[in-house]
Amino acid sequence: MKMKNLLAAMAAAAGMTAAHLAHSSDRIPDSQAVRNVVLVHGAFADGSGWRGVYDQLTGRGYRVTIVQNPLTSLADDVAATRRVLDRQHGPTLLVGHSYGGTVITEAGIDPKVAGLVYVSALAPDVGESTGSQFADIPPPPEFVIETQADGYGFVSLEKFKTGFAGDTSDADAAFLRDSQVPINMSIFETKVGHAAWRSKPSWAIIATQDKAIDPKLLRHTAERIGASIEQVQASHVPFLSQPKAVADAIDRAARGASR
C-alpha cells in the first residue's frame, strides 16, 4: 500500500508540474492567425544569435525561420528574405535587427507579411539609405567599423564588446567578435525602393543601452514610422542578452497583428 501511495503521489506531482509548465509556456491559441515568425539578422552577425528567441517562440507554438543574409548587397539580402517568406504558410510576422530593419522595410511588402518588428533597427523611407539614417544622430563613439581594401567592413576587434555586445559575457562577446560576418559597405548607401512600414503595422524594440545605434535615433525612427514601442535594458544585441524579453515583445506583436 505504501508503494501504491507513493506512486500515486508522484503521478499527481508530475501532473501538477506538467500543468504548470503548460501554463507558463503561454502557448498561442489555436485560433491565432499569425503563427509564423521570420527573423532577419543585421550586419556583422549571422542568424545563430537568434537561438534564444527561437527557443522561446517555438516553445510557445510559433513556426520560426531564420534568414541567413549574405551581406553582399541589399538586393541579395532582400532576395534571401523573400526566399524564406515564400516557404511560409499563412500570415507571417517579419522581424529585423539593426541593418536587418532596412531589409524587412524592403521585403515586408510581401502579401504574407502581417506585421513588422524592428529590434534595435533602422527603418528607411523610400529613397533613403541605411547610412542616411545617421545624418542627424551619428553612431556612438564606441562603435567603430574598419573597412578592408575590398570594401567590406568589420567591427573593430578592440572595441567590439563595448560597441556591439556590452551586456554579454566576455566569452560570448569574444565568439561574436571572432565569428562576425563582414558587410559590403556599399550597402549602407543603397536606397530602398519600398517602405513596408507605410502599409503594415509595426512594432519597435528599443535597447536602452545600445552603443551601436544611439537610442535617441531608435526612438526617433520608431516614432516616425508609427510603431508600438517597447524598451529593453540591453546592448545592441538584446535578442542575445535578453531573449525572453524580445520573444515576449514579438509574441505581443504577433497577437496584435492577428487582431
Residue range 82-109: mean pLDDT, rounded: 98
Residue range 43-63: mean pLDDT, rounded: 98
Single pTM value for the model:
0.90
| 33 and 258 Cβ atoms separated by less than 8 Å | yes
Give me the pLDDT at residue 21, please. 35
DSSP 8-state secondary structure symbol assigned to residue 129: B
Residue range 68-96: mean pLDDT, rounded: 98
All three cell numbers of 128 = 533613403
The angle at the Cα of 224, spanning 223 to 230, to the nearest 5 degrees, equals 25
Query: Domains in the chain, start-ordered, CATH in brackets?
Result: 33-258 (3.40.50.1820)
What is the rounded end-to-end Cα distance, in angstroms, of the chain?
54
Distances (CA, A) of 251 to 43, 108, 206: 24, 18, 16
Distances (CA, A) of 130 to 22, 38, 119, 194: 42, 21, 15, 13
* Per-residue pLDDT band at 112 (split at 50, 70, 90): very high
Residue range 245-259: mean pLDDT, rounded: 97
Give me the pLDDT at residue 173, please. 97
All three cell numbers of 152 = 567590406
What mean pLDDT value characterizes the chain? 92
Give me the pLDDT at residue 5, please. 46
| Residue 66 CB-half CA count within 13 A | 18
Is the pLDDT score of 59 beyond 80? Answer: yes
Candidates 57, 58, 83, 88; CA nearest to 70 is: 83
* Per-residue pLDDT band at 26 (split at 50, 70, 90): confident
